[in-house]
Amino acid sequence: MGYMTKNQFVMRRKNNLLTWGACIASFVLLIIWFLCECFGCSAVMVSILGTLSLVAALLVLVMVIYSLIKGRIKQALLLFLALIGYGIAFLFLSFLLFFLPIPDYFARNLKIPEGIELHHPIEYGQECQPHVEMGLMLYTADIQSGLYRYSVFLPTIEEGHVYLRAFEITKNTALSVRRLREQSKMPVFNRSDSVARFTLPDQFIIYEGDPGNPYAARFEVWFVPENGDREYKLMERNFIIEGWRR
């Protein structure tokens, strides 16, 4: 075994600290991500924690390859076992999130405001009022809360598509940020002078909240022209809704 200079010793020590620091960080961030999912932290925070945990795990994988190249077989093996442990932990925690009825605390302390116009979604397929000249209707799409469909009634409009944005009214918190736009996307086009109805064939999900804890939300309908012009808001309407139970 050759003599190791002071600089080589310092460099190896730094590499070891970086390697095992990344390994520990990946597990710690994974646990924090899981707890944030359980206790209803913001979607942005959950996304950041999950990404940082995966980045740390990828860094460990890089260090496994680096250790093999340098001939440090023992260290590479230990890191690889730690990486397998991370994968098992990730799958186990994801399993818990998917199957356990984890409560969502988003709506627990929210108050439904007074003095504003609020509507209740109606059961899909059972109209309780005549067509509105231009407006938005929200329907419950399933017996499970948080699942909805919608219709928009539009006069003459160029070819394009609409989608929804949703916000809790009292704090203006955006709802279902990561998925609502794609889930609610619907093509529209009406060249006639009469009002046309467009109904989303599939359901979309409001993730924030849980059954038995209703809150007020503002739904905005946005239009994106097919010709590439700037999107703009067509209308908005307030509804009392409940979130989806995972």
CA distance 110 to 30: 29
CATH class of 122-241: mainly beta
Please identify which residue in the block is written with the tokens 């209308």.
235
Neighbours of 5 (CB within 10 A): 9
Scored b (16 or more CB within 10 A) or e, 89-100 reads ebeebeeeeeee
Domain ranges of the chain: 6-99, 122-241
CA distance 65 to 19: 12
pLDDT for res 231: 96
CA distance 152 to 188: 9
* pLDDT tens for each residue of the chain, 246 residues long: 455 565 655 566 666 677 778 888 889 988 998 888 777 666 678 888 888 888 888 988 888 898 888 888 888 898 899 899 999 999 998 888 777 766 667 787 889 999 999 999 988 776 655 455 568 999 997 777 889 999 999 999 999 999 999 999 999 999 998 899 999 999 999 999 889 999 999 999 998 888 888 999 999 999 999 998 999 999 999 999 998 876
pLDDT for res 33: 87
What sign results for the dihedral spanned by CA atoms 112, 115, 116, 117? positive
What sign results for the dihedral spanned by CA atoms 113, 117, 120, 124? negative
100: left (phi over 0), alpha (psi -120 to 50) or beta: beta
Phi, psi of 189 (to 5 degrees): -170, 125
Beta bridge mates, 220: 165, 236
CB 218 within 8 A of CB 236: yes
pLDDT for res 1: 46
**Residue 56: enclosing H or E segment and its boundaries?**
helix 43-69
pLDDT for res 144: 78
CA distance 146 to 151: 17
CA angle in degrees (0–180, nearest 5) for 189-131-121: 100
- pTM, two decimals, is 0.65
Contacts 24+ apart (CB under 8 A), 65-68: 67/19
